[in-house]
Amino acid sequence: MFDIESANRNRSYQTVDSNGIAQQGQGLQEKLTDLAQKFFPDSKLFSFNAINVISCYIMYIICWLTYWFSDMSWRCTTHFYGSHYGPDVGQQYQFHRLLTPMILHQNNMHIFFNTLGLLFFGFQLENYYGFKRFLSVYLMAGIGGNLLSIYWHYENFSLGASTGVFGILAFQCIYLYERKEQLGPKFNRQISSLAFILIINIVQSMTSPQIDGASHFGGFAFGLLMGLLFINNEWINKRKWIRLLIIIILILSTFYLTAKIISYNDGRENPVPTFDQLEKMSFIMNRGEKNEEKVGYCSKQLENYMQKKQQEQENKTPFG
């Protein structure tokens, strides 16, 4: 399905001494690289894309360890490590939350499919365009996707690398268009596969309330604009004003969304509370089971209590 031309396949591995110690190390690296390239052509162990994927899984393990060995609920665990929540960005100016959600994930399927997208498309694009261009597209797509997500769903918690992944999908469209002649018959096959992936994701974003469609759209739009800055196209190369216009659009869009997020609570009778305020309000209002102390928003005790109450409500019949 993913027919991708390989690059940098021929690598030299040198022995360092006669004891064979360095040779064994190089042999292991060669074996791992060859194994990875059987599934993901152009893959490199020492690349931003590989480090990014590994970082996602490391943070996922850290989140689970924190969840298991603390009293924090899963939502509060991921928030502690950087998931975004509108008021924290808009009122407390925690702008790092526009990037940190990109290495956090909700569950096994979430992290699997996001990292799978990075593995399929990321290596090829990083090899072709270089580390700096690939990184700039990925990060800008993440920032743009998270900004639009907060603008559209101010009171929601959100996390995941999908903002950057959709930016990479947009960048892949640029790559295929740029190499249309070189790819020949492969172009139609690859663009059809990419279109199918995008359509499936668009349908899921529109039909599932658990999927943050705004972040996907924002990531794709910002990724496409960033990709157009780096496209090697004769028509665009002769018209420098086009790239200048794209830069202006990116800057204005970023500032507009940021300004709207910061001013979201202005003039509201019931402003949306920040996360700290939410925790304090919950601590005051909620009690656990009988003879237990008051618990806050982040407590597993409250989470389990609320889930139990919700199940009781769902199990009730109209005549019960």
pLDDT tens digit sequence for 192-224: 888 888 888 888 777 777 788 899 999 999 999
C-alpha radius of gyration, the chain, whole number: 23
Give yes or no for a contact between 223 and 166, defined as CB atoms under 8 angstroms apart. yes
Q: Is the pLDDT of residue 306 over 60?
A: yes
Q: What is the pLDDT of residue 256?
A: 97
Tell me if 142 is assigned to some domain.
yes
By three-state DSSP, how is residue 44 classified? coil
Mean pLDDT computed over 142-155: 94
Higher pLDDT, 135 or 14: 135
Task: Give the separation between CA 293 and CA 240, rounded to whole angstroms.
Answer: 65
| Strand, coil or helix: 287 | strand
* CA–CA distance, 273 with 250 (Å, rounded to integer): 30
Taking residue 227's Cβ as centre, other Cβ atoms within 10 Å add up to: 26
Q: Above 70 in pLDDT, residue 32?
A: no
Q: Has residue 226 been placed in a domain?
A: yes
DSSP code for 269: S
Reduced 3-state DSSP string for 141-209: HHHHHHHHHHHHCCCCEECCCHHHHHHHHHHHHHHHHHCHHHHCHHHHHHHHHHHHHHHHHHHHHHHCC
**Predicted confidence (pLDDT) at residue 16 exceeds the cutoff of 80:** no
What does the angle CA 200 – CA 204 – CA 210 come to, to the nearest 5 degrees? Answer: 155
Asked if residue 112 belongs to a domain, the reply is yes
pLDDT for residue 182 is more than 90: no
Residue 238 lies in a domain: yes
The reply to whether 223 falls in a domain is yes
> What distance in Å separates the CA atoms of residue 259 and residue 79, rounded to the nearest whole number?
23
Q: What mean pLDDT do residues 223-228 have?
A: 95
More confident residue, 31 or 275: 275
Q: Kindly state whether residue 4 falls inside one of the protein's structural domains.
A: no
Q: What percent of the chain has pLDDT over 70?
A: 76
**pLDDT tens by residue, 231-257:** 888 888 888 899 999 999 999 999 999
- Return the pLDDT at 20: 47
Compare 145 and 195 and report the one with higher pLDDT.
145
* Amino acid 72: pLDDT: 86
pLDDT at res. 236:
84
4 pLDDT band, cuts 50/70/90, is: very low
14 lies in a domain? Answer: no
pTM for this prediction: 0.79
Is the per-residue pLDDT at 140 higher than 80?
yes
The answer to whether residue 227 is domain-embedded is yes
Region for 115 from its dihedrals, namely left if φ exceeds 0, alpha if ψ lies in -120 to 50, beta otherwise: alpha
Whole-angstrom CA distances from 155 to 106, 148, 249 are: 17, 13, 27
Q: What amino acid occupies position 162?
A: S
Identify the CATH number of the domain in which residue 207 sits: 1.20.1540.10
What does each C-alpha distance from 100 to 21, 207, 258 come to in angstroms? 39, 26, 17
Residue 294 gets which letter from DSSP?
Answer: B
Give the mean pLDDT of 17-32.
54
Q: Which two tokens stand for residue 264?
A: 């979201």
Number of structural domains found in the chain: 1
- Burial of 145-170, coded b for 16+ CB within 10 Å and e otherwise, reads bbbbbbbbbbeebbbbbbbbbbbbbb
| Strand-pair partners of 158 | 84
- Most confident option among 14-28, 72-86, 126-140: 126-140
Express each pLDDT in 62-104 by its tens digit. 999 999 998 888 888 999 999 999 999 999 999 999 999 999 9
**Reported confidence tier of residue 143, pLDDT bands at 50, 70, 90:** very high
Residue-range definition of the domain harbouring residue 53: 39-262
